[in-house]
Amino acid sequence: MAKRLDQAVRDYRRLRTLVPLGPVRTRKDYERAVALLDSILDEIGEDEKHPLAELAEAVGVFVEKYEDEHAPVPKAKPPTVLKTLMREHDLRQTDLPEIGSQGVVSEVLAGKRELNTRQIRRLAKRFGVSPAVFI
């Protein structure tokens, strides 16, 4: 077991040199983490089973924690966030091809269907918000 743990430590250190994976403590850390999250989501594309999907989720958690601490906004569920953005931009369900058909948008807004990584990436880009708000 100790041998495997030693290997895990080496692998983790190597990974940390490739991507800034860890708690977001400063504004600079936050900006790097958001850029990393955007890059990962661009790489994942529409492949929900992509090997980097879990990394995107982990980085999203770090980003979300920083946002909660430094720009506290009442935590809203993704459908609520989307409804708010739609209202602010005067959009209807048919105005969101980033999600899919009007029926799919309706299911997302009703909480019957979760957003996938492709939809999250596209919505974040469209509205200029962190992907973490949809996670």
**CB neighbourhood size of 9 (10 A):** 10
Q: What is the pLDDT of residues 65-87, one digit of tens each?
A: 888 888 765 678 999 999 999 99
Give the pLDDT score at 50. Answer: 92
pLDDT at position 73, please?
A: 58
Do 83 and 130 share a domain, yes or no? yes
Domain that holds residue 113: 78-134
Contacts 24+ apart (CB under 8 A), 87-95: 89/127
The enclosing domain of 98 has a CATH number of 1.10.260.40
Task: Select from 19, 52, 70 the last residue of a domain.
Answer: 70
Q: Quick one: 66 and 82 in the same domain?
A: no
Last residue of a domain, one of 70, 101, 116: 70
> What are the φ/ψ torsions at residue 117 (nearest 5 degrees)?
-60, -40
Determine the 3-state secondary structure of 64 from DSSP: helix
Report the candidate in 98, 92, 20, 95 with the shortest Cα–Cα distance to residue 62.
20
User: Which amino acid appears at position 103 of this protein?
Assistant: G
Q: What is the pTM of this model?
A: 0.54
SS3 114: coil
CA angle 131, 134, 132 (to 5 degrees): 40
* Low-confidence spans in the chain with pLDDT less than 50: none
